[in-house]
Structure 1
């Protein structure tokens, strides 16, 4: 159960009739996806819900329902996945922020954005970072590991990204990521207030540690400082279901990403901290990597074009250091931006 003082600061009506915010999120996911109650989405989401993705924005409930129907048709046994964790934190007396990490599996038996059914199984992770006010989700930042899905289905990520660059899967239009609301605004000190609003006055030391880690290890390239922030036994789960263990493995994972985007800088945009007796202390961080694709050619030849990567990371903190990490971003959204730059320069697929 959650630590009592963290739960007592929220009006119980915000998550009623469930036990706590975690139960609220997990129960609604099952009722909508496992029980096939898509029509109940209106009881869970606000009418004017804002959904932020790397492919564009939607600002009403109808888009959520339409996209969900299509996904349920393509992956009828995919359900809502298995909830790995829900990190929640107060956002005013009648609200909370929920960062919900899901391990998803399914079989591609219907038509989807990527084309006709392949009949193949897939696995991936998703993190939905949601603001709940007065019992309903009113804003959501959504990150999926779509590269892992395509890998499982045997589809060409480059071809999918080329097609998505011509029409967003969210809006059906060409998206200029630079002007997308998902990347808009800057937050000077997300340890106090970020995209989800003002944080409660607790867990300041943990938030400052995560903020310092991004500044030192990522932005200052002080890879030698990984051990200052991570346990010797650190395990990092990343995109394409990759896993790195130990300080050296963690260092290499960060270096390999920045090698493709050598001028990249992490902008921290939100922090959520949750402590419970069963799962310990965890921190959710929403971040953006602003960069130029000008380094090693992991996505084909460098275009030297700007790229914005929307990411969410969950950290498990033990004895003041990061013991486990789940770092998620949509590589297909990254590749889509690169493909758009190629299209604008006159290249053909």
Structure 2
């Protein structure tokens, strides 16, 4: 008798939410130490997120987050499960109807070394209470988040959170630049360690050897890491922008932070040029890559990356300060026929403005 093939791990991008919240059938992959109810890592990520945020069972963080876990964000690190719970309730105070809709979960790893998941989320919310941005405005917003997690034995042990906070502030009617100035002044007066954290990441990024990046694999769908490195190596690090049409389909739909949207290779070039104008020496490192199937022959590729550069040029961040800028970013590429057809890229641009304003306080520029 032929042994039946194992069921494939849940494909979030093509599975209805109701099916993901009520999965049926046996476990689809080894999950040592995880609760018996979870059938695979995608199921785990989708359902615990839904329970914590949509159902407001925030105390479940104690079950699903390691006691000493670390969430890295561009606005500072969140240490320990108690702080995670406190911050979650604070967010819900400002946006009590906030939902986290699972657009995709791209994953890698196993239950021995730990699963790595990259969760692309769309959040809908109404500003009905006080928040870090100010008094409630009653306005609604829709933003995207990418949450990358390392999961081991039923716990998230490390996370990198990238959320479009400037887009959120703008949509609820707040002035992102004024918020960044207030936050920067608080950083400056308290002398917290956020600047040191950014400088450490800036130096790590600038000192990483990326010479092997700029070579596109012959079959990008079969070598996700090489493809991701080639995208950033060729277009960003080597500034070979004329090659953009080798990586982006002419119909490419690119969703960026703060509501930016680009269509096709030509507009992608303008997007990259806007950052090169601000930081002519910028450099990008690819810090993690995972990929899963999409439709037949296509792949969804998730990339966590770091960008570092010196603010020596005019542009969208104002008068140059001559100081370092560090960006923690995440991208989801949908690759069809060897090129990016859709892209979702998220970073916290409010935290970037905060860096710029803090640098102004230091330099007086």
Q: TM-score band, normalised by the shorter chain?
A: 0.7 to 0.9
| Correspondence for 1:165 | 184
Q: What is the rounded CA distance, in whole Å, between the counterparts of 2:8 and 2:309 in structure 1?
A: 38
| Correspondence for 1:156 | 175
Asked if 1:334 corresponds to 2:356, the answer is: no
**Where do 5+ consecutive residues of structure 2 fail to align?**
1-6, 11-26, 213-219
**Where do 5+ consecutive residues of structure 1 fail to align?**
192-201
Pairwise CA distance, 1:257: 2.1
Pairwise CA distance, 1:121: 0.9
Q: What is the rounded CA distance, in whole Å, between the counterparts of 1:105 and 1:279 in structure 2?
A: 32
SS in 2 for 1:167: helix
Tell me, yes or no, if the aligned pair for 1:11 and 1:94 is still in contact at 8 Å: no
Q: What is the rounded CA distance, in whole Å, between the counterparts of 2:161 and 2:191 in structure 1?
A: 18
Larger relative contact order (CA 8 Å, sep ≥ 6): 1
Segments of 4+ moved more than 6 angstroms: none
Pairwise CA distance, 1:47: 0.7
Q: What is the rounded CA distance, in whole Å, between the counterparts of 2:297 and 2:342 in structure 1?
A: 12
Q: Normalising by the residue count of structure 1, what TM-score does the alignment of the two structures yield?
A: 0.87
| Correspondence for 2:41 | 21
| Correspondence for 2:136 | 117
From the superposition, tell whether residues 172 and 149 of structure 1 become closer, same or farther in structure 2 (CA, over 3 Å).
farther
The number of equivalent residue pairs is 333
From the superposition, tell whether residues 311 and 26 of structure 1 become closer, same or farther in structure 2 (CA, over 3 Å).
same
Tell me, yes or no, if the aligned pair for 1:106 and 1:121 is still in contact at 8 Å: yes
| Correspondence for 1:226 | 244
From the superposition, tell whether residues 183 and 139 of structure 1 become closer, same or farther in structure 2 (CA, over 3 Å).
farther
Q: What is the rounded CA distance, in whole Å, between the counterparts of 1:275 and 1:306 in structure 2?
A: 38
Identify which of 30, 36, 53 aligns with 2:50: 30
Range that drifts further, 66-75 or 338-347: 338-347
Aligned CA-pair RMSD: 2.8
Asked if 1:246 corresponds to 2:264, the answer is: yes
Tell me, yes or no, if the aligned pair for 1:56 and 1:182 is still in contact at 8 Å: no
Identify which of 129, 153, 176 aligns with 2:195: 176
Pairwise CA distance, 1:164: 1.2
Asked if 1:137 corresponds to 2:156, the answer is: yes
Pairwise CA distance, 1:9: 6.3
Tell which structure's C-alpha radius of gyration is larger: 2
User: Residue deviations 1:52-99, cap 9 Å, x none?
Assistant: 1112223211110110111111100013x2111111111453621010
From the superposition, tell whether residues 8 and 82 of structure 1 become closer, same or farther in structure 2 (CA, over 3 Å).
closer
Tell me, yes or no, if the aligned pair for 2:150 and 2:156 is still in contact at 8 Å: yes
Pairwise CA distance, 1:291: 0.6
